[in-house]
Structures are given as C-alpha cells and as structure tokens.
Structure 1
C-alpha cells in the first residue's frame, strides 16, 4: 500500500491492524523472554500508532518506533505523552527497507515486526530483512508476526481472515531470510498466521 492510503486509514480510524498491544508480545514480557535488564533497546519496525512501543517503554525498555505513515506517528507520539512514556520512546518517519535509518545508530536487543515484512514483496522484502540483520547483534530477539501460508492454500477472496488478496510469508521463507543467522521458534497463532521468536546466534 501507498503511504497516502495508510494515512487515510489511520485518519479515519479504520486500519484493521490497529488493535492495541499484541498478546504475543505481552506473553513474551510476562514470561521474561524479553526484559529490559541488561538488554532493553528496542526497534519497532512499522510501529503504526505505537501501541507496542509505548507498552514496552512503560516497562522500562528504550524504544525507537519507525513508520512511514505520518498520521500514525502523530498518534504514537500522543499516546506516549498520554501514558508518560516520552522519555523512553522516540518515533521517526522513515523507509524501513532502507539502511541505515536516519538517526538510528548501533544495534538493538529486541526488534519487532507486527505485519510489515509480509506486506512487502520482491526486493523491498529482501531489503527489510537485510536491515533487520544489520540492526541485530548476537542475542538479539526478533519477533515477527505475519500472514503465513501458500497462496494456493487460502481462499481467493475472504471478508474476514487471510485471502489471496493479502501478501504473506510462505512456509520456509522465514528460514531463507533469517535461518543462517537466527535460531527460529514458532509460537502458537491462528490459522494462516505465524508468530516467530528468533534469536540471533
């Protein structure tokens, strides 16, 4: 999708993915799989209105949220102000397929992607994966949520759920993009979606 379309959906309040903090992330924090002590620097790619970024900032993480939708970022900043998390999260408008991100130095302990990589196809998807590799160091935890299926295994059109109208990660693609440098664990998710917790070796 084009930035103007994302901005329109956010402005109208009808972006279907803008549903609050993802339960998978809450589970990872509550279980201690990711924690701020000794490793709390987070990069939230495609952060949208900042639900995950602000949630983590409120739990002691230092977060950089990146998106290219200006309307979403304005709302993310407002959310951070309202929840008193401004000092722990920063939001910037940038292309998450282009390394380096402006003003973003070093590597991160946690990288999040809830629905950005699977929204890309071809070279942009490869470029975003390359950016993730470059911002990771040994021990980095990368959380990837995505539509996950072969095109032929989902309906051509569906009003609720995944269809061939969506772009998606195909089974095995996560290994091709990340398997050489990350250990990959898949956690339980609804049909035709996946949540991967990857750890940089």
Structure 2
C-alpha cells in the first residue's frame, strides 16, 4: 500500500469519481480483451484500475489480480464490483501514487491503460519502466493509450498532454536488446459516448511485449 500523503492527484480523481456513481462504462477495455484474452491465467497487475472493470474481467478468466489506483473512491467501487461479480477472492486493491510508490512483486501480466496526465504530476515513462521491471520472465506487458484527442474535444483542451505512439513507448522503456519480444504495436478504433450522449469513435493504441 502507498504511504504517500494525499496530494492534488488524489484530490482531483476523488472529486472526479464523486461526480457520478459510475464514470466509466463498466466494460473491460476492448484492447485488453482482444490482446490478452488467450493468455494463460497467472498473476496480473492493473495500473490505474479505476472502478475495476479490467480487474474483474481478468479475475473472471482465472487470473489473480492486483488493482492499483490513486483514488480511494475508485478503489472502493472496484472492490464492490469485484464482490458483485463473485471474484473478490481473486483480487486485491492497493492505493499507490505512481511515481512515488509501486506495488511489490513480479507478475505474468502487467497492464497500464490510459496513464495520461496533462502535467508532470506522474512521471509516466518512469512508471512504465517500473511496470516492465515488474513483469516476470515469460510474462507480458500491455500498455494502452490514446492515439489522439477526440474530434469532439476543443483543440486547446489538454493541448499539453503528450500522447506517444507504440513505437515511442517502446523506445522510452529502454529495454535491454534482445530481452523482449514485440507481440503487438498498433492503433485501433473504439466507440465512446460523447458528452452530449451520442456515440463517437476514438482512436487508441496498444503496445504488447513479452519478456523472454
């Protein structure tokens, strides 16, 4: 568990989650389902788990999962969703302010989805290098991110938020030569509900690599 003091990051996300009883869809990330659906279950770590949809989906497929988030509000909801889904015995949740603390141990699957911040409050590249270090030999690291801002968002919104390509993510990991195998480095489209309630399409990307 994180021992860091609550900061602006936690305050922001707690406030964001308190705006509604559920802020995400409750469905597992489409890229996770497609890319990790055939992996044999083992120990998994989900960084930035939010309300726990990916954790619940993995646990339902036999994984033992640790979900990590900065927001106690989100983690409380994630625990409730795990209990409702009947998988609470296969999951645990830890509060970490990534960049200040990180869960212990090695994992057969480490996922990091949409770890984007509009400022330097989280050192994303360093966190992802920690994620790679936490991936066990033979295990998989899956990094999912936005490939660009949605067309319905004003051009100036989050203009300072960097959205790297899969290749840029791979380079930033600074992995030893020959120690990892690239399984996927791609862009994909998914449906997302727009603020006005209509359905839009957003482009995301994914990097999936296996530690040899």
Give the TM-score normalised by the residue count of structure 2: 0.75
Q: Select the structure that is richer in helix.
A: 1
Q: Give the alignment's Cα RMSD to 1 decimal.
A: 2.9
**Does the CA contact (< 8 Å) of 1:146 and 1:168 recur in 2?**
no
Deviations 1:20-63 (A, max 9, x none): 21111222344x1x221xxx100000000100001111111000
Q: How does 1:11-26 map to 2 (within 5 A)?
A: 11-13=18-20, 18-19=24-25, 20-26=27-33
Is the contact between residue 96 and residue 102 of structure 2 (CA under 8 Å) also seen in structure 1? no
How far residue 88 of structure 1 moved from its aligned partner, in angstroms, is 0.2
Give 1:161 deviation, angstroms. Answer: 9.5
Tell me whether 51-60 or 159-168 shows the greater mean CA deviation.
Answer: 159-168
1:119 is aligned, of 117, 120, 123, to: 117
Task: Give runs of aligned pairs for residues 1-201 of structure 1, distance below 5 A.
Answer: 2-13=9-20, 18-19=24-25, 20-30=27-37, 32=38, 34-36=39-41, 40-101=42-103, 104=104, 106-116=105-115, 118-119=116-117, 124-148=123-147, 158-159=152-153, 164-165=158-159, 167-171=161-165, 172-178=167-173, 180-181=175-176, 182-184=180-182, 185-190=184-189, 192-201=203-212
TM-score (norm 1): 0.79
Contact 2:129 2:173 in 1 (8 A): no
| Ranges in structure 1 where 5+ consecutive residues have no aligned partner | none
